[in-house]
Structure 1
Amino acid sequence: MTKPTQSRKAETNTKAAPAKVRIAAVADLHVKETGSVSYKDLFTEISTEADILVMAGDLTDLGKKAEAELLAADLRACTIPMVAVLGNHDFECGAVDEVRSILKGAGVHLLEGQAVEIHGVGFAGVKGFAGGFGRHMLGSFGEPAIKAMVAESVEETMRLENALRQVRSERAMVVLHYAPIPETVEGEPKEIYPFLGSSRLAETIDRFPVSAVVHGHAHRGRFEGKTPGGAPVYNVAAHIEKPNGKPYAIIEL
């Protein structure tokens, strides 16, 4: 089966937007260089069930070039447009530039503070970062290391805001790796909540008309929640139980 090129997929934007778009969303595939797990069948199935595939980070297990190459080979089975953000695991080995290049070469719209419109849906994506939630959110005070951590969280939030400002379509999906709310990380130890996401992301999301948010990272969290402003949030980590009983969720916009 011939895989559509990214430029060919982008042509869908010139056609009239369908009334309903089915988005398959999954995160935390953690592809290993051993090739012990193949996702070809999963991507083939998704291509028949959805109009767009969204992958919300931790695509590789250790951020190795070989892992990205295995994922790219499996993605040849996917015949629908693909959108993704990176996760913390994709940075582990310091080969993130190679990982980016391989995924983009496979036709993935990789978002790092950008937006793309497909089938009339605008996708705005960043990795996000840690920092905590609500009144427990980490503040920029004390040691330089703490200030650097907060600065990284703020910078990711600013990237998300810039991406959302690029969206022109009525339907918009935010793609993150880190969680924007605590509700979808419930089930994880409370001690690690600050490392699973940040309310700064939700604060930014709620300044824009967002139809849905997807993230991963919290493998033992729960599937569904809402931002304080009411935007639906879905934890689509492959390990999370979903209504359809599949590793991926189907979200209709």
Structure 2
Amino acid sequence: MGKSPSSVRFAVVGDIHVTKESAGTLRAFFAKAAEAADALLLCGDLTDYGTAEETQVLVDELSVVKVPIVAVLGNHDYESGTPEIVIEILKKAGVRVLDGEAVEIEGVGIAGAKGFAGGFGRGSLGAWGEPAVKLFVQEALHEAMKLEAALAKLRTPRKIALLHYSPIAGTVEGEPHEIFPFLGSSRLEEPLLRYPVDAVFHGHAHRGTLEAKTIGGVPVFNVAKPLLQRKLPDQPPFRLFELPREADEPEAEAQAVPEAVK
């Protein structure tokens, strides 16, 4: 599929969970996603245990992608305690890994951070009591500050936020309520209210809901691959999202394309 003169297309997916056994199994999937879009966006949990071996399998599978690739890490990518190795291998392969940074693709600004847990709304964990609780909440605040710093850097009319954890409860609905506090944090929504974007993408909640909105009405998409496979079994498991190139036309609205390939 060639570039559209009127829109920029993004193929977005998270929670690929690459293992050693994934070698040779994902190239056709990535090729189809890249063919449909101007860029591929990856929302964390790219590997299963965050090892160098898994990351190398991932970049080998991504070698068929000829469009820009932008990614954030997920909690699984930290499991082995060496996320810097995961990032180094990805960057050497040309993947732009965001951790509080921003990039521009085809005139669209993309701000990215992993995010963190902590709960939503009145259920958010407060920094009170034991030092371990305060450290947990501080990590959530730190990730929210990363997202805000990335958003503040964007100067493009069209903007996207890329996360692993959810900024709202709406897209984790479907998961057991007992684990909601570990699926995301309302603290990630606060920067999105101060720096509005056209869309937010995240993963992590494999049994969540495909789409909901922030308090400010911004669409939030859960693009966890297992969720897309279960909810949209007749389509390739990635979300295709379009933004108009004519950013100065007020009537033009961003839209998520219902089919994986138009």
* TM-score normalized by the length of structure 2: 0.88
**d(CA) in 1 for partners of 2:216, 2:5:** 27
The question of 1:112 aligning with 2:99 is answered yes
User: Quick one: distance in 1 between partners of 2:221 and 2:199?
Assistant: 8
Structure 1 segments (4+ residues) deviating >4 Å = none
1:127-138 aligned at under 5 Å gives the runs 127-138=114-125
1:191 to 161, 178, 183: 178
List aligned pairs for 1:170-181, cutoff 5 A.
Answer: 170-181=157-168
Contact 1:18 1:119 in 2 (8 A): no
In structure 2, what is the equivalent of residue 163 of structure 1?
A: 150
Q: Partner residue of 2:85?
A: 98
Q: Is this contact kept in 1: 2:23–2:57, CA < 8 A?
A: no
Q: 2:72 aligns with which of 79, 82, 85?
A: 85
**Paired residue secondary structure (2:226):** coil
Taking a change above 3 Å as real, the CA distance of residues 37 and 28 of structure 1, as seen in their structure-2 partners, is: farther
Structure 1 residue 115 displacement after superposition: 0.1
The residue type paired with residue 238 of structure 2 is: Y
In the alignment, is the contact (CA less than 8 A) between 1:196 and 1:217 conserved in 2? yes
Give TM-score scaled by structure 1 length.
Answer: 0.91
Between the aligned partners of 1:138 and 1:159, the Cα distance in structure 2 is 19
Aligned length: 237
1:22-33 mapped onto 2 (5 Å cutoff): 22-33=9-20
Structure 2 residues not aligned, in runs of 5+: 244-262
Corresponding position of 2:250: none
| Identical columns (%) | 52
CA shift, 1:33, in A, is: 1.8
Please, what is the CA RMSD of the aligned residues? Answer: 1.4
Native 8 Å contact 2:174 2:207 kept in 1: yes
Q: Which residue, 222, 230, 238 being the options, matches 1:248? A: 238
Show structure 1 runs of 5+ residues with no match: 1-16
2:252 corresponds to: none
1:18 positional shift: 5.3
Tell me the equivalent position of 1:209: 196
SS of 1:239's partner is helix
